[in-house]
Structure formats: structure tokens, C-alpha cells
Structure 1
Amino acid sequence: MEKNKKHLPAIGVGPVIVAPQIVLSVAGIFAGTKECLSFARISALRIPFTVLGVLLIILGMYLWVYANFKTKIESHIKENTLATDGVYSIVRNPIYSAFFLICTGVLLFPANLILLILPVLFYFYMTVMIKSTEEKWLKALYGNEYTEYCKNVNRCIPSFPKKKK
């Protein structure tokens, strides 16, 4: 792929990664409040889980807004430049991470321990999908620049940049 001729699609595999998280989160919330999963509901955790859930939702919304509007990822895609600044300096896939955090936050509200399985499944699904699609495309498009970026910035979990040796 020549860098100056082709670029990634603006939406990419995003819907394939995000839609299952949203659908399973909605189903999980519904099931988590019903009698079939009541054995795993811990009422003592309701307040701490709700507080943590709200914080995760706020962090997810922040990541999403920052990635879409402050960093303007769409312009990076159209201009064929690798986004490594702003929120992209702390996580390689902030939009996917945002949905992951929001869905995880929502799943905490029922305080049902069974629902905690879903974020683990989301994470592994998201990782497999990103590695088998976008990471291959970006490696082909940006080569060593992308490889170095991957060494310093996490795929899905926001963190402070690793110090260069």
C-alpha cells in the first residue's frame, strides 16, 4: 500500500468491534436485573459499583470526544498520517477503548458478578479483531513508524507513554 495513494476507511472495522459490546451490554443489563441471575447480585456492592461505573462512563466519553474532536482522527485518516499525539499518545485505539469503558461502566450498575465476565470477553474480542485487521493494515501502511508507536503505546488500556530507552 503506498502511503500517498491509499488510506484506511474512516469507519473501518469499528462497528464490528463495538456493536457486539453494545448489544451484549444491553442484554447483560436486562439479564442482570432479572431473577435468573439474582444469585450473583451483591447489594452491598451496588453503591461502589455504581460510582465506579459512572467514572468509567465519564472516562470513556472523554476518550471518545477527545479522539474524535480534539485529535480529529478523520483528518489523520484522510491525510494518511499516523495519529500519535493527544489521546493517541496514551492509547492506540481510544475510540474502541471508549466504548469498552462505557459498556463496562454500564455493566457495573446491577452489581451482578456474573456480568463481570462480559468486559473480559469484550477485551479479548477487541484485541483479536484489532490485531487481525487494523494493526495489519497500519503496519503495511506506516511500517517501522507504526511498529515503534506500538512499542510505546498500549493497544486498548490507556496508560502513560513508556519511556524511550
Structure 2
Amino acid sequence: MRFDRMFWQWIFGVFFLVWIIFSAPKLNYLGLFNIIGIFLLFIGILGRLYATLYIGGIKNGGRDGNSFVSDGIYRVCRNPLYFFSFVGLLGILFLKGQLILVIVGAILFLLIYRFTILGEERFLSDKFGDSYKEFLKNTPRFFPDFSRFKYSERLEIRPFFLHKEIKRAFVWLLGALFIYIISILQNLGFLPVLIMIY
């Protein structure tokens, strides 16, 4: 049975939406959390843009249609797009100022994407055989090993997919703006705070 990542993303998305709208932070470190959040958010956005330069439009077929991408940022880890999405999500959640929200978000993300990644690895192993299995052995699955990074001699960029990722970056920024708007509305008394969370 194929794991439906989008279904679970929607389920947990609604869960977090309710959490964010009707709760407020109990900790007094909102300024520090904001700095961490903004930093992680921009690292996530820039990392996704950089990974897209390598794999935009060629995720399953490689640059020649018969291989997989294994150079540049893909020497560092096998799933840099997912890793930098993880970093960006943590950044947005930090902006809420609730450590528990960050921890729960991190755990749920890693659970959902573990199933997604395992399914993709099975597909690519069947498609590319021993060369991909060797890639699996030598390259970290999720958390990067930056000592493995080497520049590619040549990089072919597909503008359509890069522009698509740039548009997605604005969605990430809107997510951050949403957190700030909710906080302002709560402080002004326009939104009820049902629970204070650490």
C-alpha cells in the first residue's frame, strides 16, 4: 500500500493551524525564538532553492534520463529538499514561541517523511539497481554530512522548476507572516487564547 504523504500533511496541517490560532506561548523567550526562527526559515528557503538547481525536473531520471542525481548537494545527503523543508518548518514553528510546538512538529515531520523516503528509495533501487544501492550505502539519508560536498563541474538549470521553487519560497514567508498576524490579533484581543503552552 502506497503511503499518502499529502493526506497526512493536510491532517496535521489542520491540527497545527488550530494549535497556532488558539494558543499562546508561556515562555518568556519570544525574542530569542524569533531570531532562531527567522534564521532557520531563511536557511530552509535558500537550501531548497540550491537543491532545486540540481534536481529541478530531473528527480527520477537524472540529467540524461537514465540516471539519478548524486553530485553537489546530493553528495551531502540523499534528500536535501526534504531536509531543508524540515529546517524551514522548524523556523516557522519557532516563531510561535512554543518549544513543545517545535518538538511535536519535528517528530511528526520526521515520521511522515520517513515513510515517503523509504518508498522513494524502493522505487529508485528497482529502477537503477546496484549503482543506486551503492549510493544508499555511501550517502546519508537525511541529515547532511557537509564534508562530502564537492562542486559539480557542470550544472544545467531548468528555469521553470527554479521559478516554481521561488514561488514556493513566498508561501513559506506567508506562513511566517501568518504566525505574526495571529500573535498581533491575540495581543489586541481579537482572537481568544484558549491555552498557554511552553
Would you call these one fold, judging by a TM-score over 0.5?
A: yes
Q: Which of 150-159 and 136-145 deviates more? A: 150-159
Instruction: Give 4+ residue runs of structure 1 displaced > 4 Å after superposition.
Output: 18-23
TM-score by length of 2: 0.61
Match of 1:144 among 109, 113, 130: 130
Q: What is the SS of the residue equivalent to 2:60?
A: helix
Cα RMSD between the aligned structures? 2.8
Q: Which of 72-81 and 23-32 deviates more? A: 23-32
Change (3 A) 1:156 1:26: farther
Change (3 A) 1:66 1:135: same
Question: What are the within-5 Å matches in structure 2 for residues 1-165 of structure 1?
Answer: 16-17=4-5, 20-21=8-9, 24=12, 27-28=15-16, 30-35=18-23, 38=24, 41-68=25-52, 70-75=53-58, 77-78=60-61, 79-115=65-101, 116-131=103-118, 133-161=119-147
State the distance in 1 between where 2:37 and 2:142 align.
18
Which of these two proteins has the greater Rg computed from alpha carbons?
Answer: 2
Q: Which of 143-152 and 73-82 deviates more? A: 73-82
Q: Quote the residue 2:164 is aligned against.
A: none
TM-score by length of 1: 0.71
Q: How many residues end up aligned between the 2 structures?
A: 144
Where in structure 2 are there 5+ consecutive unaligned residues? 149-198
**Contact preservation (8 Å) 2:55, 2:69:** no
State the distance in 1 between where 2:37 and 2:78 align.
23
